Amino acid sequence: MTETASLRNHFLIAMPQLADPNFSHTVTYICEHNAEGSLGIVINRPLEITLGDVLQHMQIAPDARVDTAAPVFSGGPVQPERGFVLHRPVGAWTSSLPVTADIALTTSRDIMAAIGQGTGPQQFLLALGYAGWGAGQLEQEIAQNAWLSGPADPAILFELPVEERWGAAAALIGVDLTLLSSEAGHA
């Protein structure tokens, strides 16, 4: 796969008719996309647990300045017991996958300890699990109109309210999802 065909640092936007309960009305941030497959984090599915819950589970005492009520997201159906931190700036963590010069995906405990101390990345999204596709699978799903894709915007990823992310990601590529029918049409 050529670098120009890579969907890394793109949003994958579920089409309204996508019925898979793991991905219905989701926006997934693609962190890796190559000939072997793809990996992404769903950015608009908050769970019923918070950053404080995760820090407590990891036995990390949070600093008083840390927003322990920050949501934790369902990043996808693969390895839902494992934590993934999408963040910027990249920093120097033990186990990170750089996505861009400014955004990385980290899975190591050191970033969680820093977040708990208030010394972690300025912007982050904590997710449990990830979305994964085998070689060619994502391309096939896009060809079947299950997904729209377009360049990612860090403001949507880190700043926009969760309930606005699906529509805003589609709007980046000029699509109003409210105008799309969930029914397949035939001429």
Cβ 114 vs Cβ 120: under 8 Å:
yes
Beta bridge partners of 78: 130
Residue 1 pLDDT: 41
DSSP 4: G
Cβ 38 vs Cβ 138: under 8 Å:
yes
Q: Angle CA(146)–CA(43)–CA(71) in degrees, nearest 5? A: 145
Q: What is the pLDDT along the chain (187 residues), one digit of tens a residue?
A: 444 478 999 999 999 888 888 899 999 999 999 999 999 999 999 999 999 999 999 999 999 999 999 999 999 999 999 999 999 999 999 999 999 999 999 999 999 999 999 999 989 999 999 999 999 999 999 999 889 999 999 999 999 999 999 999 999 999 888 787 554 444 4
Cβ-based neighbour number of residue 14 at 10 Å: 24
CATH entry 3.30.2130.10 includes domain 3-79+127-179: no
Name the nearest CA neighbour of 153 among 135, 171, 139: 171
For residue 136, the SS3 value is: coil
Q: Which helix (H) or strand (E) holds 154?
A: helix 154-158
Please give the C-alpha separations between residue 12 and each of 1, 24, 99, 108, 134, in angstroms, as whole numbers.
Answer: 18, 12, 15, 25, 16
pLDDT tens figures, 132-186: 999 999 999 999 988 999 999 999 999 999 999 999 999 999 988 878 755 444 4
Cβ 37 vs Cβ 51: under 8 Å:
no
Beta bridge partners of 105: 86, 97
* Residue 27 buriedness (CB in 10 A; 0-12 / 13-18 / 19+): buried
Residue 39 pLDDT: 97
d(CA 44, CA 62): 25
Residue 154 pLDDT: 96
Residue 4 pLDDT: 46
